[in-house]
A and B are shown apart, each in its own frame.
Chain A
């Protein structure tokens, strides 16, 4: 299987290096992943994220459905346009996917899920939607372009249709607004300000060109990964899977156990996990020696006194273009101290243990 987004020809035209990603032919870079990374941190870059799956929910009792389907509580969404990040769990508390849900009105919620999990997500959503008489509609007629960086919004205003600009200008962070068939969310996956723009597929190529003319440079999936990792944002399939609960994936903040009477899928498993004590957590690592941290490398965890207390594993690792050091997310025993060792090709290298966020809004944290 090899799908192409509606922007595929643009990627070729803009000299993108095409790779297979979750069954999609996507640009990994347009020359230099490093340059694209800095472009987003310092100015503005754009990503084709049309492979992601947009799902509209209408009719029936959507709020009650989402309160049952998701680990986060959509009752937090009081204002029209507000977005919420949540996990969708299975009965054992494992993560089926992570997603963003926008509350547009009581009669319309929009959900954005990952490309790699499309089939199982849609099957799961549909399976549970029927009890609430909710209509589930995949919006494969829409494309999605993310514009990210400190200057992304300002530059995007030069390229977007006037009425879309009017809808986008007043948006606060983590809000979205629709304008006809267009939709703009002040959201993203880079740790920078910006928009995620959904629009009819037939208009996507023209917008791509206009955004480029406005000075927003095309960026590939390579930069997207280093940007999200620096921002401490989880990647589904690497940092959490169906076999890991959000409680050991750095996602406790997205699980709403209050109010206690809200039943949601996975709740009982999470409560049982809490009752017996959560044994692992996600931390950030900064390698203090030369080398590059990568997924699946073994972490030797030490407590504050330097005593070895167990092992962990890197879930995502890379070289951070912003920090010029190697960084990682790792799942480790909860009692880990401020330093640890990572095994790279048989050698033990020292890494600092930090909060799992490295860069936000262009600044090292």
Chain B
């Protein structure tokens, strides 16, 4: 069973979001997603200061097996990316919700309410 922390928000395309104390939102891919992809070997992160609209392709994670797009879960500007992943993409496999975060965004609209909570996301995995 994959891990689905209760304090996070989720999307159907397996991104997770965490609202930080400063109002920024950290984004990553779920434990379920990393397990599906297998050993990650490359991450193409978005450029800092780029504006995205919810649903945009903003990042690519590649395992030995395949490349997979990451979609921007909410609209906003990328303010920070996890540079460590350039050299150690496998951190996403070992720590998808912590050290394996992808990027942080400054939201430009209030779209968090549209996302799934842990219970709803868990239910999609069980379908």
Chain B residues contacting A105 (CB-CB under 8 Å) are none
Question: In this assembly, does A222 line the interface, its C-beta being within 8 Å of a C-beta of chain B?
Answer: yes
Q: Is B60 an interface residue (CB 8 A)?
A: yes
Assess whether B39 is in contact with A292, with CB atoms less than 8 Å apart.
Answer: no
Complex: how many Å from CA A292 to CA B64? 8
**How distant is A342 from chain B, measured CB to nearest CB, in Å?**
14
B41: chain A residues at CB < 8 Å are 292, 319, 326
Task: Answer yes or no: A257 CB below 8 A from chain B CBs.
Answer: no
Known: A33-B64, A222-B65. A292 touches B42 (CB 8 A): yes
The answer to whether B64 and A321 touch across the interface, beta carbons within 8 angstroms, is yes
Q: Please give, as numbers and ranges, the residues of chain B lying within 8 Å of A318 by CB-CB distance.
A: 64
Rounded to whole angstroms, the CA-CA distance of A318 and B86 in the bound complex is 17
Interface bits B57-75 vs A (CB < 8 Å: 1, else 0): 0001011110100000000
Contact of B64 with A222 in the complex, beta carbons under 8 Å: yes
Task: Please tell me the number of chain A residues within 8 Å of chain B, measured between CB atoms.
Answer: 17
Query: When the two chains form their complex, are residues B60 and A319 in contact, meaning their CB atoms are under 8 A apart?
Result: no
CB contacts under 8 Å to B, within A318-333, are 318-319, 321, 326
Count of chain B residues near A, Cβ 8 A: 12
- For A294, list chain B residues within 8 Å (CB): 67
Complex-state Cα separation, A292 to B68, whole angstroms = 12
- Residue pair B86, A290 in contact (C-beta under 8 Å): yes
Q: B62 — which chain A residues lie within 8 A by C-beta?
A: 291-292, 319
**B38 contacts partner chain A, Cβ-Cβ < 8 Å:** yes
Q: Does B51 contact A (CB under 8 A)?
A: no
Q: Tell me whether A32 and B38 are in contact (CB under 8 A).
A: yes
CB <8 Å contact, A33 and B65: yes
Whether B77 is near chain A, meaning CB under 8 Å from some CB there, is no
> Which A residues lie within 8 Å of B67 (CB)?
292, 294
Q: List 19 A-B contacts (CB under 8 A).
A: A28-B65, A29-B38, A32-B38, A32-B39, A33-B39, A34-B39, A34-B64, A222-B64, A222-B65, A226-B64, A292-B41, A292-B42, A292-B62, A318-B64, A319-B41, A319-B42, A319-B62, A321-B64, A326-B41
